[in-house]
Structure 1
Amino acid sequence: MARVRYGARTEAEIAASREKSARLPDIWSTGVVAVWETDPEVVAAVLPPPLKPGDRPLVRANISTVDLPGYPLGAGSVAVAARHDGVEGWYPLVMPMTHERALTGGREVFGEPKKLGEVTVERDGLVVRAALARHGIAFVEVRGAVDRPLPLPEPATKTDFYFKFLPAVDGSGLESDPVLVHCTRNEKVRRLERVTGDVVLRESMFDPVADLPVRRLVEITIGEKTTDQKGRVVERVSARALLPYVHQRYDDPMQVLDGPPEGSV
């Protein structure tokens, strides 16, 4: 019988796949990063417990193209500075990706708030433009000109916070208590330049980052970096406490409450 590809894989095939994924080479991305200060009460409002605001009310937009073998990937995020149990990090609100493959691992393994979207990073001489767009709206756009090279930072470890959860089958909230994930990334930079420019936030009902206004622009940079990442569950959190925030994950805020279709059996 010809092999049925939906059939069970052998233990050897599973082990080979796991070994191959553990030996990925350095994958370099070219990206624009913009950091700004916003209103402290806004940062506090978007953080689910037990996350707390960081020392400064910072927002970070990261807009990158990634040199993946076989096809390019656009990847982005908008995150706010946060703290948990003495660890400083970032809490991403939205992470647009240009390919479905990039969504799966991040959402299902780590709980990342990834969505399909459009990611643009353009450079023409010294002129730079980067944008995150969904549903025809470029809800974040960074524009400017390269000012000067910057010293390369030392390799660093950075932390993102995610909540991993599943909506309940019967539409009554979440299937079980979510887990809080600390995702640590080891980052190396091989090129970094300062950009003089601005950040434009456009109104979008699906990606309302315009609610995080730019009160003071901290920095804009463009550079090349590579990262790896590892996640660990640090604690279980209350489903009741997280439920008011799960709309951050979905375009339709009522999606988490969907029950079975009428008349289904």
Structure 2
Amino acid sequence: MGFVKTREEVARLEKVLSHPRFVGAEMLTIDYLTTPEIVRSILPPGLEPAAEPLITAMVGRWRSNCVADFAGGAIYVAARHKDIEAAYVLAMFMDTDQAIMFGRDLFGEPKKRATSDLRHNGTSFHGYVERGGVRLIDIRAELTTDLGPATAQGANFNIKALPASNGIGCEDDPFLTLAEFDNTLRTRKEGAGALLLGSSVHDPVADIKVAQLRKAAYIEGDLISRCRTIARLPAKEFVPYLYGRLDDWTALDTENLPVLAERAAPRQARAG
């Protein structure tokens, strides 16, 4: 395996890239309603709000046929593109370089490096994501309803976008992608939960305010995915959303350490 792959190596790699499998998944989620105004403000061009301003926070871990074992979490926003309804991945955090590169480069997922943990004891579940010393997502749940095994389908919207080489705007019109999942679930549990959201200058997760908590849930199973591009988005309109996905580079200016410290102060919001 060198810097230039042989025809056989390319075929082997593309077989995995086109048929990724995320197996042995364990995912703890909690749904909540935010305000319609917040949803309208965070959805980029090409996406419209769904019927409800529904947000899902998730913490999980997975095995795979492409990026080894990994763990992390995400914030999803219910959205619509034409006649397709799916969850828009607003923020995503993973603990390995391979998981970050694969999802970001292939699907367009807005992945960043973070640490996480997911534990359960009987009907009690707890999962969290931390980045830069800030706990961004913290889910606690008491899941007393056992729904049994099932098969299910899921889908996520993502956007593949690159900053321009000269540092001004997008390099080109971004791609809106749709990742679809065929899920074989061995365990499904539901119940009540509590959610704590935190923010830093780089990850303003707590800005997605909780208006009403919905159910918490936990699943175990295999997620078989595929992805396709479904639209191009106007580069100029996407620029504010592009920079919102990235870290605040101005807060990482070590020539001005007092400014850095002031901008990086964390914030937290609790619900439940």
Q: Please report how far the alpha carbon of residue 144 of structure 1 lies from its aligned counterpart in structure 2 after TM superposition.
A: 2.5
Q: Which residue of 2 aligns with 1:225?
A: 221
Alignment match of 1:126 (pick from 123, 143, 146): 123
Matched, 1:38 2:34: yes
Q: Which residue of 2 aligns with 1:90?
A: 87
What are the within-5 Å matches in structure 2 for residues 81-160 of structure 1?
Answer: 81-153=78-150, 155-160=151-156
In structure 1, give the amino acid aligned to 2:198: R
The answer to whether the 8 A contact 1:195-1:222 is kept is no
Three-state SS of the structure 2 residue aligned to 1:247 is helix
Three-state SS of the structure 2 residue aligned to 1:35 is strand
The separation in 1 between residues aligned to 2:123 and 2:42, in whole angstroms, is 35
Normalised by the length of structure 2, the TM-score is 0.84
The separation in 1 between residues aligned to 2:20 and 2:203, in whole angstroms, is 32
In structure 1, give the amino acid aligned to 2:234: S
What are the within-5 Å matches in structure 2 for residues 194-233 of structure 1?
Answer: 194-233=190-229
Three-state SS of the structure 1 residue aligned to 2:199 is coil
Count residues in correspondence: 250
Structure 1 residues 17, 68: CA separation in 2 closer, same or farther (over 3 Å shift)?
A: closer
Three-state SS of the structure 2 residue aligned to 1:205 is coil
The answer to whether the 8 A contact 2:201-2:248 is kept is no
In structure 1, give the amino acid aligned to 2:124: V
| Structure number with bigger Rg | 1
Q: Please report how far the alpha carbon of residue 169 of structure 1 lies from its aligned counterpart in structure 2 after TM superposition.
A: 1.0
What does the per-residue CA deviation read over 1:202-245, in whole Å, with 9 as the maximum and x for residues that have no partner? 23222212111221111101120211221111121110110111
In structure 2, give the amino acid aligned to 1:168: A
Matched, 1:193 2:178: no
The separation in 1 between residues aligned to 2:174 and 2:163, in whole angstroms, is 10
With 18-27 and 106-115 compared, the bigger mean Cα shift is at: 18-27
Three-state SS of the structure 2 residue aligned to 1:213 is coil
Aligned CA RMSD, in angstroms, stands at: 2.1
Q: Which residue of 2 aligns with 1:174?
A: 170
The separation in 1 between residues aligned to 2:227 and 2:6, in whole angstroms, is 27
What are the within-5 Å matches in structure 2 for residues 70-81 of structure 1?
Answer: 72-81=69-78
Q: Which residue of 1 aligns with 2:238?
A: 242
Q: Please report how far the alpha carbon of residue 68 of structure 1 lies from its aligned counterpart in structure 2 after TM superposition.
A: 4.1
Three-state SS of the structure 2 residue aligned to 1:43 is helix
The separation in 2 between residues aligned to 1:78 and 1:43, in whole angstroms, is 12
Q: Which residue of 2 aligns with 1:59?
A: 55
Q: Please report how far the alpha carbon of residue 103 of structure 1 lies from its aligned counterpart in structure 2 after TM superposition.
A: 0.8
Structure 1 residues 85, 123: CA separation in 2 closer, same or farther (over 3 Å shift)?
A: same
The separation in 2 between residues aligned to 1:7 and 1:112, in whole angstroms, is 25
